Amino acid sequence: MNKLSKIIGWVLGIVGIVLGVWCLAKGEATNEGPVNVLLRYSYFLLIAAIVILLGLALIMAAKNNPKSLIRALIILVGIAIVVGIAYALAPGTPAANVREQPSTSLLKLTDTWLILVYILGGAAIVSILFGVIRNAITNK
C-alpha cells in the first residue's frame, strides 16, 4: 500500500509539473486554454484528496469503533452543509483582465473554493489562538 501511494504521488506530481510548464510556456497569462486545464486538474486533485480522506476516516471509524461511525457521519453532514452554504454565497463574478471568460459554473466553483479557504484559514487561526491560550492556562 505504501509503495502504491508513492507511485501515485510521483505520477500526480509529474503530471502537475508538466501541466504547469505547459501553462507557462503557452504564452500570456490570459490564455484561457491552459489556465482552464490547470484549474480543472487542481480541482480534480482537491476533490480526490477530500474523497479519499473522508473515505479512509469513515473506514477507520467503522473498523476501530463502530459507534464512532455515527459521529463521523454527523461531522460529514456538517462539512457538507458548510460547503453548501459556501456554494450558495459564492457570487461567481467574472474574472478580471481575461478576454474570454470561463464558464459561469467554473467561476462559481472558484468562488466557492475561495470562500472555503477563507473559512479554513480563519478556523486555523482560531485553533492556534485557542491552543496557545489553553497551553498558557494549563502550564501555570
Spatial separation of the C-alpha atoms in residues 51 and 80, rounded to whole Å: 12
Q: Would the pLDDT of 137 be above 70?
A: yes
Tens digits of per-residue pLDDT, 66-124? Answer: 777 788 788 889 989 999 999 999 998 887 777 777 788 888 988 998 999 999 999 99
| Grid cell listed for 77 | 453532514
Q: Would the pLDDT of 31 be above 60?
A: no
Spatial separation of the C-alpha atoms in residues 26 and 118, rounded to whole Å: 31
Q: How far is CA 25 from CA 21, 28, 111, in A?
A: 6, 9, 26
| Grid cell listed for 9 | 504521488
| pLDDT score recorded for residue 27 | 57
Residues 6+ apart with CB under 8 A from 97: 30
The C-alpha torsion from 26 through 31 and 32 to 34, rounded to 10°, is 10
